[in-house]
Amino acid sequence: MSLAEANAFAFSLATTLMVSIIIFRAGDGSLTVVPADEYDGEASQIVREIDPHAR
């Protein structure tokens, strides 16, 4: 997934579910999107966090 696709998908999930979403780089280099409370990987792999409650 490209960064633009990951951002669009993460924003859609965040606003639909009203939870923070993490975009992170997986071990193979691909970008993946997951709810923040489910992410248990390394902080250095996080590309962006999208919080629907932030201004």
The predicted pLDDT at position 23 comes to 97
- Distance from C-alpha of 26 to C-alpha of 9, rounded to nearest angstrom: 16
SS3 38: helix
The predicted pLDDT at position 7 comes to 96
The predicted pLDDT at position 1 comes to 86
- Distance from C-alpha of 39 to C-alpha of 3, rounded to nearest angstrom: 18
> How many of the other CB atoms lie within 10 Å of CB of 4?
9
Summarize pLDDT for 10-43 with one digit per residue, the tens. Answer: 999 999 999 999 999 998 999 999 999 999 999 9
The predicted pLDDT at position 3 comes to 94
The pTM of the full predicted model, rounded to 2 decimals, is 0.88
